[in-house]
Structure 1
Amino acid sequence: MPIFGNKFSPKKTPIRKAGNHISNDDNLEELVLENRVVSLQLGKHIMKFEDGVWIPESGKDASLHKSNKKLRKRIGELEEENNLLKLKSEILLNLLTQTTAESHLQQRELEKFKKDLKK
């Protein structure tokens, strides 16, 4: 038996009261579905955390971010349009090739008929 008591044995923590927890599922759904945006202000600069990315809200960086976002959107639209135009030109080239081949066949048949008529 220790003389001064056992210093290293922790005291038991008191049991918590169950009055402060969420009692119904409606409140829980509201907390989960609520869209919270984290904002941070450092001096004159304000940033917010959205979709896993810090986005500047004020100052020169904010205007650059907004213009970059618009430009990225425009680039995406132009890439889609470019892909569509490439597809259309490929289809037109295929149609032109098919028509040219058919006209060559018809010319050969005409020449063949002309030779047969001459004989």
Structure 2
Amino acid sequence: MPLFGNTFSPKKTPPRKSASLSNLHNLDRSTREVELGLDYGTPTMNLAGQSLKFENGQWIADMGLSGGVDRREAQRLRRRNQQLEEENNLLRLKVDILLDMCQRPWVSGSCILPSSLRPPPSPT
């Protein structure tokens, strides 16, 4: 153990092995893609029986495989459904008003109906 000497002496590193023994790096791009499987295609997934594919930054329903409805069509159907529900509510309100209008004259005894539908006058 030297007094003023360096006690640290690392082992000599072994020489590196040769690069790659494979010749795949010499192949052209298309052959390399076929050999290494780098052609992934569009990402697809299946959620609850609905097949989706990723295109232009958005997940779109794949029409061919599952027969699903695409996003724009679903949005159009939702708008149409809401429109029909509003129309249905308006028609229900009109029917309620007409029934109410028709019941009031019956109570007072002066309903405007054709004579064939009018009840006979009560003998008083």
Tell me which interval the TM-score lies in, with the shorter structure as reference length. 0.3 to 0.5
TM-score between the two structures when normalised by the length of structure 2: 0.38
TM-score between the two structures when normalised by the length of structure 1: 0.40
Larger-Rg structure: 2
